[in-house]
Amino acid sequence: MLKKIFTLFILLFVNYSMDISAQAQNIDSLQKRLNNASDDTIKADILLSITEKYQYKDNVKAIKYAREALNVSRSVNFKSGIADACIKLGSLNILLGNLDSASTQCKKSLLLYRELNMPAGELECYNNLSVIEYYKGNTIESIKYAKTALIYAKKTGNKPRLGKITNNIGLMYSNKGMYDSALVYGFRALKYFDKSNDSVNINGSLINIGGYYLQIGDSTNTINYISKAIVSSQQLNDKRGLCICYSNLSDFFIKHNQLDTAYNLLKINIKADKGQNDLYGMAIDIKSMAIILKMQGKYDLAIEKLNECSLIQYKMHNKHGIQSTNYELADIYYQKKEYKKAEGYAKKALELAKELQEKDNEQKVLTLLSTIYMQTHDYKNACIFLNRSNDIKDSLFSVAKNKQMEELSFKYQAAKKEQANQKLSFENKMQKIEMDSQKQKNTFYIILVVLLVLLSLFIARQLKKKNSAYKVLIKKNNELISKEKELKRIKSLKTNDIEFEEKKPAYSNDKKEELLAKIDYEFEQNKLYKQDLSLKEFATRLNTNTSYLSDVINRVHNKTYTEYVNYYRIQDVIDMMESENYKKYSLEGISKLAGFNSEKTFSRVFKKTTGLSPGFYRKNINIS
């Protein structure tokens, strides 16, 4: 099952994550300030502050105060207040699923921010417009807005927003099925959030990366990242993030044919979605339930679930979701042999796939339509739609496809000939067959030669794919072996830590903090990681012993000394990759500048840290 929108609602989570400490401020005190304010511009600002307090608690009250702020700002022509109120109303309408209203409000505020030369405001507008188009299913438009927002984030030096937008672009690429590119942006976003110690958005990135690995089919990394995200969501009491984890986990169980487990998990998740008024999550989980019911042959129940899902998607104007639901309905009605209904839903799905420029989905629908027409003996349309499907797929015909096309063409020609020559006698038909006998033999030999050539090409292509598959398999096995070794090493380290704690007396906090400050200074300011310095040499430099130094690094950073050095080196390499100043440097040259003496060691450590090879990462830094 392909579910490209598995992380759909995480986008709002990332873009509109709450500042918990700010929410704790007393709304009553703001209300008193409002009552005592005499200046309308001050009133507008206070009303917007109250709006923020209600934004994630009571959307109705939040909209009420935002509209009051808009009216007060308009009464005194307070343009920045008008712009702020419009963007706030846009954000609230996104949360409520009123996407057209949200788009109108954001575009109004964009014009005002541009007039006032307020790039920070323009950034928020482009970011919101990107979110809106994403939820509508217009991924291409969403990416355009996000790229523009990214420019404004860099221009204004807004590092938190830079991470969030980078994360969103990863989601957009995943929506188009470009999971390798999504992983590149996912890990870049994780790097931004990690630097700022942003635990909320680190959790969001872990969820997304787990989802990307799920779609690639990498079971080990899927479970690894989803497990991390579940633990993180529980620690943060993030109910929405937890729902997304369970949604992805249900997908994992579906892919591994554990349908009852997946179904029960989705039932729990839908209840949580309703409690949070999360329409996006609800639609995705209901559709997953429908697909499980379809796989179990419970077609009528599956149709009920898909119709329920469709109502939510129409309400939210989610074209991508509507297209996918129509395709599933068409497929179920085809299984039920209700071909007219199947054709109707398939044509709706085809129209939306074309509008959204989703070629893979268009090809799937065309194939289904061809199969439907085949069953209804409409061989002409069956040929037309199969040809269009194969054109989109843009690959050589296999022998099986050629045979299928020949059979369809023969049946179409036979049906046409029967209608045109009903009044002809049997004798005339026989004469025609005899006259064309020799010609048919020649044609047969030509076709046979062509088929043999195509068969040879097909076999060669299959051998090439088989070799590639072996290489991928070897690579996956090597990764699994490496991870098993790493797990053993970590367990060993933890055992050593316990033994060390039992044997060694605790050091004072003051001494520990003093040593940590020295370590940070040497690594951040003196770039000590660029030197080939052993643990003993580093301990001597800091006037301490190796055991204490190693223990502090391990306890605080959860890394060995070597891992800690390599972590800084990899971050330095990534920064140089993204800098124009090092564009002409080779990977080997950059790695040596960061302190790696061995190219092999550099490649191994980079892959272990990011999950990607250095060459692939550098090539995909500026994906457009």
Residues 186-201 have pLDDT tens digits of 998 888 888 888 888 8
Mean pLDDT of 20-31: 63
Residue 294 CA to residue 298 CA, distance in Å, equals: 6
136 pLDDT band, cuts 50/70/90, is confident
For 44-58, 209-223, 447-461, which range has the lowest pLDDT when averaged over its residues? 447-461
Neighbours of 198 (CB within 10 A): 18
Q: What is the pLDDT of residue 328?
A: 93
Mean pLDDT of 275-294: 88
- The torsion angle over the Cα atoms of residues 530, 532, 536 and 542, rounded to 10 degrees, is -30
Q: What is the pLDDT of residue 444?
A: 67
Q: What is the pLDDT of residue 519?
A: 92
Report in angstroms the alpha-carbon separations of 190 from 14, 208, 237.
Answer: 12, 10, 20
For 269-278, 330-339, 383-392, 590-599, which range has the lowest pLDDT when averaged over its residues? 269-278
Using one digit for the tens of pLDDT, what is the confidence trace for 36-63?
888 889 888 988 888 888 877 788 888 9
Mean pLDDT of 607-614: 87
Cβ contact 382:404 at 8 Å: no
492 pLDDT band, cuts 50/70/90, is very low
Residue 441 or residue 562, greater confidence: 562
Q: What is the pLDDT of residue 463?
A: 59
Residue 471 scores a pLDDT above 70:
no
Q: What is the pLDDT of residue 277?
A: 82
Cβ contact 374:343 at 8 Å: no
Residue 419 scores a pLDDT above 70:
no
Using one digit for the tens of pLDDT, what is the confidence trace for 9-19?
344 333 433 34
Cβ contact 278:9 at 8 Å: yes
Residue 291 scores a pLDDT above 80:
yes
Residue 385 scores a pLDDT above 50:
yes
Cβ contact 173:182 at 8 Å: yes
Residue 334 scores a pLDDT above 90:
yes
Mean pLDDT of 268-284: 85
416: phi then psi, degrees, rounded to nearest 5: -65, -45
157 pLDDT band, cuts 50/70/90, is confident
Residue 576 or residue 9, greater confidence: 576
Mean pLDDT of 202-224: 90
For 5-9, 293-297, 354-358, 433-437, which range has the lowest pLDDT when averaged over its residues? 5-9
